[in-house]
């Protein structure tokens, strides 16, 4: 699984984090831009659809989906990817809750809330968690041409869930943008780590060869080879002396000349030289 080059990844994550910092610094209760955009989102015709769609970012909705999708991904594709989807989603949610507690930004006027909201405002948990889960699922569960369509669907779904929050009056627009950017940056970083881990794994072929070469259960042929070297041949020459015999023959050829034939008479033969040496069977 190849995601982005290191340079593209760093530039993308840096841009997302800069956007997150900008929303932190310029948004909130004292921001005229946030207040103006929040009033623009006050469309009563959108309230029923927003109430339904915002549930796709609820913790009690996404947590069971996270469990189910992680198990299915681990069973059908890769245990590593299933575990990564679960870790990215849960850690992203915990990070958002920690930041909410740290920055302690107040939400818009509670009298305008159309759904219950209990935690602090920045960043939007619905925007961040929906971005983290759906984008991570698209990146980890799909490969090839299907991944682009899955990423597009995940982004559209996360954007739609985030937009419901200012429509329902429970978040400043900067909260939502901060949640989107944080969720995307967190997901890209962790998915890239998973992709790097998959590239660094040794291939199955190399592993098989190494196991085969280091297998201690293979038969030891050393004793058989030694017995072959020490065993006498039919001409009285042991297997271990074959190389010396070949070298002696080469020297003889050089002395006689090309095509020369050396005949050994009976007087020059050693005693019993024509007789094979056999083991005593008595």
pLDDT at residue number 203: 43
pLDDT at residue number 269: 53
pLDDT at residue number 198: 72
- Of residues 188, 167, 183, 277, the one with CA closest to residue 230: 277
pLDDT at residue number 118: 85
pLDDT at residue number 143: 84
Separation between Cα atoms, residue 168 and residue 176, nearest integer Å: 12
Which residue would you say has higher pLDDT here, 260 or 30? 30
Mean pLDDT of all residues in the chain? Answer: 80
Tens-place pLDDT, residues 192-251: 988 887 766 544 434 444 444 445 455 555 554 555 555 555 445 444 554 455 445 555
Mean pLDDT score, 240-265: 50
Which residue would you say has higher pLDDT here, 65 or 255? 65
Q: Could you tell me the maximum CA-CA distance found in the chain, to the nearest angstrom?
A: 127
Return the HEC string of the chain. Answer: CCCCCHHHHHHHHHHHHHHHHHHHHHCCCCCHHHHHHHHHCCCHHHHHHHHHHHHHHCHHHHHHHHHHHHHHHHHHCCHHHHHHHHHHHHHHHHHHHHHHHHHCCCCCCHHHCCCCCCCCCCCCHHHHHHHHHHHHHHHHHCCCHHHHHHHHHHHHHHHHHHHHHHHCCCCCHHHHHHHHHHHHHHHHHHHHHHHHHHHHCCCHHHHHHHHHHCCCCCCCCHHHHHHHHHCECCCCCEHHHHHHHHHHHHHHHHHHCCCCCCCCCCCCCCCCCCCCCCCCCC
Separation between Cα atoms, residue 174 and residue 163, nearest integer Å: 11
Catalogue all structural domains in the chain, each as residue range(s) with its CATH number. Answer: 6-201 (1.20.144)
pLDDT at residue number 19: 97
pLDDT at residue number 76: 85
Separation between Cα atoms, residue 140 and residue 112, nearest integer Å: 39
Which residue would you say has higher pLDDT here, 178 or 232? 178
Q: Taking a C-beta distance cutoff of 8 angstroms, is the pair 122, 105 a contact?
A: yes
Regarding pTM above 0.85, the answer is no
Separation between Cα atoms, residue 106 and residue 162, nearest integer Å: 18
Separation between Cα atoms, residue 179 and residue 164, nearest integer Å: 13
Tens-place pLDDT, residues 21-48: 999 999 999 899 999 999 999 899 999 9
With pLDDT > 70 as the criterion, what percentage of the chain qualifies? 68
Mean pLDDT score, 103-126: 92
Torsion angle of alpha carbons 155, 160, 165, 167, nearest 10°? Answer: 150
Separation between Cα atoms, residue 187 and residue 176, nearest integer Å: 16
Which residue would you say has higher pLDDT here, 221 or 80? 80
Separation between Cα atoms, residue 42 and residue 25, nearest integer Å: 24
* Residue 180 confidence (pLDDT) above 60: yes
Q: Give the lowest-confidence range in 3-17, 68-82, 134-148.
A: 3-17
pLDDT at residue number 176: 97
């Amino acid at each position: 699984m190849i995601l982005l080059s290191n340079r593209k990844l760093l530039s993308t994550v840096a841009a997302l984090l800069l956007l997150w910092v900008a929303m932190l610094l310029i948004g909130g209760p004292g921001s005229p831009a946030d207040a103006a955009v929040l009033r623009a989102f006050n469309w009563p015709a959108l309230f029923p659809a927003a109430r339904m769609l915002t549930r796709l970012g609820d913790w009690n909705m996404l947590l069971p989906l996270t469990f189910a999708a992680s198990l299915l991904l681990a069973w059908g594709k890769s245990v590593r990817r299933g575990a990564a989807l679960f870790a990215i989603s849960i850690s992203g949610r915990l990070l958002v809750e920690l930041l909410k507690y740290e920055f302690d930004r107040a939400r818009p006027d509670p009298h305008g809330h159309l759904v219950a909201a209990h935690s602090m405002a920045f960043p939007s948990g619905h925007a961040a968690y929906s971005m983290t889960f759906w984008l991570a699922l698209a990146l980890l569960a799909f490969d090839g041409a299907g991944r682009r369509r899955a990423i597009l669907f995940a982004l559209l779904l996360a954007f739609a869930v985030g937009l419901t929050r200012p429509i329902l009056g429970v978040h400043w627009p900067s909260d939502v943008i901060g949640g989107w950017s944080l969720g995307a940056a967190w997901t890209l970083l962790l998915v890239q780590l998973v992709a790097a881990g998959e590239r660094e794994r040794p291939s199955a072929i190399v592993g098989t060869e190494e196991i085969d070469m280091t297998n201690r259960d293979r038969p030891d042929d050393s004793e058989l080879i030694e017995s072959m070297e020490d065993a006498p041949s039919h001409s009285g020459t042991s297997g271990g002396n074959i190389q010396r015999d070949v070298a002696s023959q080469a020297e003889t050829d050089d002395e006689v000349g090309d095509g020369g034939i050396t005949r050994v008479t009976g007087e020059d033969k050693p005693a019993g030289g024509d007789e094979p040496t056999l083991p005593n069977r008595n």
